Amino acid sequence: MLYVSTRGHADRKHFCEILLEGLAPDGGLYLPERYPQVDSATLAKWRGLPYADLAFEILSLYIDDIPAADLRAICRKTYTEKVFGTTEIVPLKKLEDGLCLEALSNGPTLAFKDMAMQLLGNLFEYELARRGEELNILGATSGDTGSAAEYAMRGKKGVRVFMTSPHGRMSPFQQAQMFSLQDANIHNIAIEGVFDDCQDIVKAVSNDLDFKRKYRIGTVNSINWARLVAQVVYYFAGYFQATSPLPEGEGAKKVSFTVPSGNFGNICAGHVARSMGLPIDKLVLATNENDVLDEFFRTGVYRVRAAADTHETSSPSMDISKASNFERFVFDLLGRDGPRVKSLFGEQLSAQGKFDLSADPAFKHARERYGFISGKSTHADRIATIRDTHERFKATIDTHTADGLKIARQHVQPGVPMIVLETALPIKFAASIVEALGHEPERPPQFEGIEKLPKRVKVMPADVKAIKEFIAAECA
């Protein structure tokens, strides 16, 4: 299996090369040359596998440069009851007929990002040891990626982490999770700006090929294909839990997924799963007030917002106006036309801040061929959904999951299970839970008093040169 750039770069690379590289040399994102296809016989064979073994079966379709025995061992080391608190790893919780939550937040940092990041940490450590090399990871987080990456990479041999985040824009719990880490290989950088400024810095450094090579810069954001393909696994796991085996000869039963999304990574994994042949009917994308993605799927216009127009909301991990992974979907939508994607996401976005596909026949495929629909949720919707879910089902959900659940209810169809992907545990957004329910959410014992711990963080301007100098100084 070889990988191509969404912007048409001529090189074809193997998995372990792009694992350590991040962005392609032309600024594009990597995707496999083709999506491996699974049929009903394969689905029947995979049904009932432990999560770690299901992960191995799916990942082995995309990874041919790690020996099978080693890859299986990495998957079994990653997805354990000890790490994720349950043998199912991602259990379903039924709320009402046709609607359930898939629990993705049982990992070390209480957010779905752990599902991929724990695997990524083990893959990095394996490949760096095999090469005898080191890697400096530069990342950007709007809330959960940072802590998931840092907890996955802390103490890993050959790895340093430089994680940027928008200064003062994460919840107190999210900040404490990251900034309280004292490990020597973890560096937190609070950027004076919004998440998109952090993301722009990561891309700018990654596009400086000389600096990237000299300091061995890699990424853990979902622009890294390894993270995204790890997320594909829980779509299959959710499907198997929501459906029963069918009599031989009958077609596979379909399910739909609703995914709270800001950067398009989580739902892009669903697009990959559907493209592989997993019987997904609809992929429902839920945004908050930062609705750049909802606007595209409604109108065909992709319009990024300036920092001043990026709302600070109670579901802060989706306070994003430039969806990095969206480029992967547009690449598929436009028939994998690399030069055109390069023009849209390069010159056109830079010059106009938007592009318009509303008149392009391909835009109809977003819904008809790929199953995408979307919706937008507000703070009032979140609070009402949290309150309703607690009153009717005795379940407390976080604000992002509430965005998803609110939009999901608009698209439930008889006979098609709707699975809402849980984003995080509610303790990460305690203020909104108090507003909705009048009391603090349950706090896991290991996080008692975390906000009072000493913090290790450097506040810096949104300046690429300054970030490069900081990385160079720490690597000296």
Q: Which residues touch 130 (CB under 8 Å, ≥6 apart)? A: none
Compute the CA torsion angle 89, 115, 289, 460 (nearest 10 deg). Answer: 140
Q: Which two tokens stand for residue 362?
A: 């391909």
Q: Which structure tokens are listed for 372?
A: 């995408």
Indicate the SS3 state at residue 322. coil
Whole-number Å distance between alpha carbons of 389 and 405: 9
Task: State residue 192 phi and psi, 5-degree precision.
Answer: -75, 85
Tokens of 431: 């203020």
- C-alpha of 60 from chain center: 20
The candidate with the shortest Cα–Cα distance to 290, out of 213, 204, 215, 194, is 194
Q: Which residues contact 187 (CB under 8 A, 6 or more apart)?
A: 160, 161, 162, 163, 458, 470, 474
DSSP 3-state of 439: coil
74, 123 Cβ separation under 8 angstroms: yes
- Per-residue CA distances from 404 to 179, 346, 378 (Å): 28, 31, 11
Establish whether 468 is a catalytic residue: no
Q: How far is CA 461 from the centre of its chain?
A: 26
* Options 82, 113, 214, 465, the catalytic residue: 113
Which active-site residues does the annotation give? 113
